Amino acid sequence: MSPHRWKEDLIKLGEMGRRIPAQIESYEQLDPDNGLQRLEGTLESKISKEYMIARMKEAGLKVRIDKVGNIYARKEGAKTDKGAVMSGSHLDSVLNGGMFDGPLGVVSALEAVRIINDEGFENERPIEVVAFMGEEGSAFRKTLLGSSVIAGDISVDEALGIKNGEGVTLKEALDTLALRGNFMMDLGDVEYFIETHVEQGPVLDMEKMPIGIVENITGLSWVNAILTGEENHAGTTPMSLRKDPLVAAANIVLLANRRANEMVKEFGGSTVATVGKMVVGPGAPNIIPGKVEMGIDIRDSNKENMRKLQDEVITAIKGLEGEYGIKTTIDIPFDYPPCSCSREVVDAIDEAATAMRIKTKRMNSGAGHDAQNIAKKVKTAMVFVPSINGISHSPLEWTNWEDVENGIKVLTETIKTLSKL
C-alpha cells in the first residue's frame, strides 16, 4: 500500500468545493468556517468525478457511467461467469460538510484494487469500484438517489425528472456537465457489496476501536409538512383570532422529541427524531407567520417502532387543523425500512481484520447509506472507521490517517477473500 496515493486522493478531493481553497492534511488545519460543499449538478461535482475517473483509468479499470450518473470502474476477474464484488460510496456532500463522508469509500475501494494490482493478486470475480450519484440529497432532494435507481426503487425517468432548488432537472444538470451515460448496472451480476464509510457517531472514537462492522442500517423516513395559517399584524390581531402555524409547529417539534426519548427508554432501541428544517414565513418579528415548512427526520433499526413514531407524528400534524384552524399538507419523500446486513460479508470482514490483528466492533448504523439499497438485491455489509468526536456533516468532520489505512487494509483483504468464493 502506498499511503501517499490514497491520502493524496482524499486531500485533493477535499479541496474541490471548499469555500476557501485549502488542501487540509490534519485535524488541526480544519476551519469551522470553511466547510466542503459539493452538490450534484455543480462544477465542483464535475471536477471531483473527473478526478476519480482519471485515477480509475490510471489503475487500468474500465469506467462506465450509467443513465443517472453513477460511475463504475471494473477490473475483470479470472472467472467470467461469477458475480462481481462491488465496493464504493459517493462523492457528493451535504451543505457545509466535511471531506471524508463519501469520498473515503470511493478512494478506499479504488486503493484496494490498486493494491490487488500491485500484488498481482488474481481475483476470480470481477471487482467493481462505484461512486454513487446524489447520496446526500442536498441538491436533488432525494437521498440515496443513484443507488435507489439501480436497486429498482425508482425509475431512471423519475430520477432524471427530479429538480434541484433552482428548478433544474437532474437530467439537465448531468447533461450540462457531460456526466450522464448509457450504461445500466444489473445487480443480478453483483454477488457482494461492501461500503467503507466514516461512522458519523462517537462510538468507535470513544472506545478507541479502529474498525466497526455494520450489522444493521437504520430505517429512515422524512415527514415534510407545510402548515398554512393566516399571516397578520402582530399588534392588532387579538390572541383569540389568530391562526398561527408556528405555534402549531412548536407542538410537533416537542412531540417528536419527547416520543423518540420515550421510545428509547421503553424499548432500549436506537429511535431518533429530529426537526432539522423549519422555515417560517414571512419571517418578520412583527408579523404573525402565515406559513411554516418543516421536515421531521425519523430513524430506527426496529421497523415497527419506526412506523409507530411516524404514524404518531402524522396524526399529530393532522390534528393541528382542528386545534389551530390551520391547513396542513404532508409529504413523505422517502421511507426506507431498516436493513440487515449479510452475515456472510460481516463475517468475512471480521476474519480479514482479525487475521491482521485489527480490533473490530459489530454495530448498527444510525445514518442511511447507499448500502441499504444495494442490500435489497446483493449480499452487503459496511466497514466503519472512527469519526473524531463523532462529528460528521460538518467542517469539523475528521478521521485519522491511520484509521483510513486500517479501513483500506481490511477492505482489501475482504475483497480478496470474497473474490475467490
Q: Which of 26, 80, 182, 240 binds a second copy (CB under 8 A)?
A: 240
- What DSSP element (H or E) covers 239? none
Residue 266, phi-psi category: left (phi > 0), alpha (psi -120 to 50), beta (remainder)? alpha
Q: Residue 352: which of 85, 2, 73 has the closest Cα?
A: 85
Which cell numbers hold the place of 125?
Answer: 470475480
Assess 310 for contact with a second copy (CB under 8 A).
no
Which residue among 54, 78, 95, 184 contacts a second copy (CB under 8 A)?
95
SS3 73: strand
Nearest distance from C-beta of residue 371 to a second copy, angstroms: 14
261 forms part of the interface with a second copy (CB under 8 A) = yes
Tell whether residue 138 is a contact of a second copy (CB under 8 A). yes
φ and ψ at 347, to 5 degrees?
-65, -40
Cα angle 362, 367, 369; round to 5: 90
Regarding 288 and contact with a second copy (CB under 8 A), the answer is yes
Report the nearest approach of a second copy to the CB of residue 164 (Å): 14
Half-sphere exposure of 278 (CA within 13 A, CB side): 14
Candidates 174-182, 197-205, 313-321, 372-380; binding stretch for a second copy (CB under 8 A): 197-205
> Between residues 53 and 280, which has the closer beta carbon with respect to a second copy?
280
Task: Give the largest CA-CA distance in the chain.
Answer: 80
Ramachandran class of 283: left when φ > 0, alpha when ψ lies in -120 to 50, beta otherwise: left
Q: Does 355 bind a second copy (CB under 8 A)?
A: no
Under the criterion CB under 8 A, does residue 272 sit at the interface with a second copy? yes
Cα–Cα distances in angstroms (integers) from residue 59 to residues 4, 35, 138, 402, in the given order: 15, 30, 31, 23
Taking CB under 8 A as the rule, does residue 169 contact a second copy? Answer: no
| DSSP per-residue string spanning 330-385 | EE---EEPPEEPPHHHHHHHHHHHHHTT--EEEEEESS--HHHHHTTTSEEEEEEE
Give min distance, CB of 195 to a second copy, in A: 15
**Does residue 391 bind a second copy (CB under 8 A)?**
yes
Nearest to 86 by CA among 3, 14, 188, 215: 188
**CA-angle at 310, arms to 309 and 313, nearest 5°:** 85
Residue 330 near a second copy by CB under 8 A = no
> Which one among 8, 63, 82, 96 touches a second copy, defined by CB under 8 A?
96
| Stretch of 155-163, 183-191, 243-251, 409-417 lying at the interface with a second copy (CB under 8 A) | 243-251
Q: Closer to a second copy at the Cβ: 111 or 403?
A: 403
**Least Å from the CB of residue 207 to a second copy:** 14
C-alpha–C-alpha distance, residues 27 and 195, integer Å = 24
Question: With binding defined as CB under 8 A, does residue 237 bind a second copy?
Answer: yes
Q: Which of 167, 285, 322, 357 binds a second copy (CB under 8 A)?
A: 285
Site size toward a second copy, by CB under 8 A:
68
Among 89, 93, 270, 360, binds a second copy (CB under 8 A): 270
Q: Tell me which residues touch a second copy (CB under 8 A).
A: 94-96, 138, 143, 199-202, 218, 220, 222, 224, 231-241, 244, 246-247, 249-251, 253-254, 257, 260-261, 264, 270-280, 282-289, 295-297, 299, 365-368, 390-394
